[in-house]
Amino acid sequence: MRTTINIPDFVVSEAEALYGTKNRSKAIENAIKDAVKFHKLKELMLLKSRISFDEDKVSLLRKLEISEDKKHGANG
């Protein structure tokens, strides 16, 4: 998508340096992708404290799943 935005030169220059490119579009694209990933990860970390699970039960279920896969000849 093509768009026009106003970004201070020093911000674009810093992004170019961080991403090792002189291609302004690529530097900005990478910065936006990283910002999206960062915020998604931040939201996920907030959920971590709200979700509780029994680690022993999860471990047991994983072992049972692996056992079933071996019984049925599944690879993976």
pTM for this prediction? 0.59
Whole-number pLDDT of residue 33: 96
| Cα pseudo-dihedral 48, 52, 54, 60, rounded to 10 | -60
Whole-number pLDDT of residue 75: 58
For the segment 7-38, what is each residue's pLDDT rounded down to a tens digit? 999 999 999 999 999 999 999 999 999 999 99
Whether 55 shows a pLDDT value over 90: the answer reads: no
Per-residue pLDDT, averaged over 40-53, amounts to 82
Cα end-to-end distance, the chain, whole Å: 39
Whole-number pLDDT of residue 10: 96
